[in-house]
Structure 1
Amino acid sequence: MKTPSARVRKLAMFASAPVAILIAGGMVWQGSQAAFNATTRNAGSSWSTGSVTLTDDDNGAAAFHVENMVPGQSGQKCIVVTSQSNVPGEVRAYTQNLVTSKGLENRIYFDLEQGTGGSFNDCTGFTPTANEVPELPLSQLATVNRDFATGGAAWDTAGTPGETQSYRGTWRFDTTGMSQDEVNALQGARVSIDLVWELQSDNAPTP
């Protein structure tokens, strides 16, 4: 048997080096695949919105519908507002959609009180508890109480469906300081306005 020459022995030595590297690399790769692993999970997190619902007992009818009004006349009506919301919030009252005519809007004064008892068109048993909206002519009321930000008669709700708040609105036709001609000029005038109660949620529930 022949003894390998020196050149062959050198080639064999160089050839063995890559094999050793490949084997070592394979060992490292095998070691990575065998690493220990553990996890823990909190499943099912979700987010849903609450709801705010506000109704009243007017059954679609206007609280005030006064025909053939004369100077000095006045009247009042009650309404009950109900919150069916499941989140806490604040209710405020304001006016919208004032329709003017001959300056009559400057002579109809309106006042809104909060309280307990009474029902739509029937103030029997109504007991006032607060009066945050001062008596003002409709023209001024439409300016100073025109949206939620400027609204009054605030009512804080707890977020329990079925909460109620009673309100009593009182109006009067005042011609104090007017001349007879000015009063006569108001004949045939008709004004109207919307009374709005808005509920906005406030406190965020604990996550």
Structure 2
Amino acid sequence: MRRPTRTLARLGTFAVIPAALLAAGVAVSTASYSAFSATSSDGADNWSMGTVALTNDASNGALFSASNLKPGSTGTNCIAVTSSGSLPSAVRMYAKDVTQTKALASSVTLQVKQGAGGGYGTCDGFTAATGTDGTLYDGSLASFVSTRKDYASGLGTWKTAGTKPETRTFQITYTVSPDAPATLMGATASLGFTWEAQNL
């Protein structure tokens, strides 16, 4: 068998080189093309919840602690309620933790007015709002505690804007009926006035 000449051997070696270079060129071209990229983004996205908040100037004190009452006894006190939440809300008033003996609430009338001025412990400077925003309730204490028991049934026309703190003063007056019977001697009644705000 004849051995190939040196010339043929060299030609075979040189013929492989262009093919390798071509393959490398294709690989480089493909890699460069796949690296092309572009993005577009907005700024940092944030979410925060609004608030509904109510406080009053009574510092958890009772509006009334009246004892030794008799037919015709009466009393008045005020309380300033402030809304400081960031959301628009509706504020309503109702009774909670109601207890009584001898149906005393049936012989007591209650009047609730809404306005401005005055505050807990004194109604000096209080001015009632006009129209239906002024007198919110004028009736028996028994009816108030039986019909105004939660937010859904509560009293109120106050709607806050939520843009800044807002304050309303509530003037509450009770009167024992002049015709209260002698059977009510020693009778008691207790309740808590509650103001609640819910966002609109």
By how many angstroms is 1:64 displaced?
Answer: 0.9
Task: Describe the SS at the equivalent of 1:34.
Answer: helix
Would the alpha carbon gap of residues 32 and 132 (structure 1) be closer, same or farther in structure 2, given more than 3 Å must change? farther
Shift of 1:161: 4.2
Q: What SS does the corresponding residue of 1:170 show, helix, strand or coil? A: strand
1:147 aligns with 2:153: no
Aligned residues: 176
- TM-superposition CA deviations, 1:151-177 (whole Å, max 9, x none): 11221112144321111001111154x
Q: 1:109 to 1:33 in 2, by over 3 A?
A: farther
What runs of 5+ residues in structure 1 fail to find an aligned partner? Answer: 3-22, 203-207
* Residues 66-145 of structure 1: pairs in structure 2 closer than 5 A: 66-129=66-129, 130-131=133-134, 133-145=136-148
Q: Partner of 2:66: helix, strand, or coil?
A: coil
Letter in 2 for 1:34: Y
Cα RMSD, aligned residues only: 2.5
CA positional deviation for 1:89: 1.2
CA-CA distance at 1:76 after TM superposition: 1.0
4+ aligned runs moved over 6 Å, structure 1: none
Structure 2's unaligned 5+ residue stretches are 3-22
> Counterpart amino acid of 1:69?
L
TM-score (norm 2): 0.78
Percent of paired sites with the same residue: 32
Contact 1:115–1:128 (8 Å) recurs in 2: yes
User: Whole-Å Cα distance in 1 between the matches of residues 33 and 178 of structure 2?
Assistant: 95
Task: Name the aligned partner's letter for residue 100 of structure 2.
Answer: T
Aligned counterpart for 2:193 among listed residues 188, 192, 195: 195
Q: Is the contact between residue 96 and residue 193 of structure 1 (CA under 8 Å) also seen in structure 2?
A: yes
Give 2:33's aligned residue: 34
- Counterpart among 173, 177, 184 of residue 174 in structure 1: 177
Deviation for aligned residue 1:51: 2.0
SS of 2:184's equivalent? coil
For 1:13, the equivalent position in structure 2 comes to none
Inter-partner Cα distance in structure 1 for 2:90 and 2:31: 60
Q: Is the 8 A contact 1:91 1:155 kept in 2?
A: yes
Return the letter of the residue paired with 1:43: G
Distance of aligned partners of 1:68 and 1:38 in 2 relative to their CA distance in 1, 3 Å threshold: same
